[in-house]
Structure 1
Amino acid sequence: MKEIIKIHNLNKEFGKVKALNNINLSVYEGEWLAIMGPSGSGKSTLLNILSLMDSPSSGEYILNDKHLQDLSEEQKIIIRREKIGLVFQQFHLIPYLSALENVMLAQYYHSSPDEEDAKMMLEKVGLSHRISHLPSQLSGGEQQRVCIARALINNPDIILADEPTGNLDETNEQIVLNTLKELKKEGKTIILITHNPELAESADRSIHLHHGIMQ
């Protein structure tokens, strides 16, 4: 199985606070990895580094055989757009754009908008009947599925999800879980931050962080 991510002796410091302490981790193509731990354990810091939105203080991060510390910021932005799909607990949808337009916006930053592709992606997450609705007209679960469609529209290799069911009721939580399971079947690599044991149980493997140390 191909090693898609390799992290070696990775540290992240904010002043005197060590948010991540000597992390070593491999993630394999098509794997579903759950990252667990209490608040303040370093989970979101690790996800920010994995998504190239932040850089480690020291250590190595290799993604698809590229040593990311050797890349310029512009090169990192291109990799993030083309290889990584992000799903957040807070939906970060543009309130005055429809569900369809929110998905097409992600295409705009990657290549060029394609309305039919965006419609197909919303259909994939069960929202073909809600494409013209604004975020305020959608339930929390529907908004999260728009976020998943937005993350998938550029066909990334890796899905990074930060507490994707944290704000959802049980019914919508199950819908999002089933969507992630389908993505796993399609061969996507999924890295998921969660407090939810059911989500973690669905993963191939779980790691735990505590005070920035992987256990």
Structure 2
Amino acid sequence: MYQPAAFAEDRPDVLHELIRTQPLGLLVSAGSQGLIADSIPFLMYPDEGEFGTLRGHLARANPHGSALRDVGDCLVAFTGPQGYITPSWYAAKAEHGKVVPTWNYAAVHVWGKPRVIDDASWLRRLVGDLTQSQEQRRAAPWAVEDAPADFIDGMLRAIVGVEIPIRRIEGKFKMSQNRAMPDRVGVVDGLRAEGAMNEPLAALIALRGEVPGR
């Protein structure tokens, strides 16, 4: 990952938090079948291994599962809040006009050697953990136990697990930190003026750019 110093992030707790809140990762491997990529949700287990461990699952029919058995490292890319930044929001536009558009984003890249798992008990724990991680905030959370046991057993036979002990992890939070403070203020205010959907990005720019009062 290209890492200008202003945007680099290496604190494990910050990187793990982005994965926890944005769990859909792009799993990429390169083996005898060439480059393969799949988007799958992962759970982060931060206390397992030097940098944590990722766990997820693939459909057993997906050829990516068999490919992972023969690769060295794979890459998983996670993306956080992101969006287009118009130069119209910069105070510098009115001052001298020497501004161009950009794209702000947060990303975490993870590398490690994958392990493909067929064990039914392991898979059952994983799908239970994945389900709980997403259902726990609901007023009436659904649990795997709510479905018939024989149905769940059949579904488990249709998947394989993927476990990736993290060997290397990098983060990049490109949040206008390279702009002067008046430009950062303009970006935060401009995003918020365009609607609530921009709030996650605006809030992260305000935090990372140390924008006062925002």
TM-score, normalisation: structure 2: 0.23
> Greater strand share, 1 or 2?
2
- Larger Rg, first or second structure (1 or 2): 2
Q: Which has the higher contact order (CA 8 A, sep 6+)?
A: 1
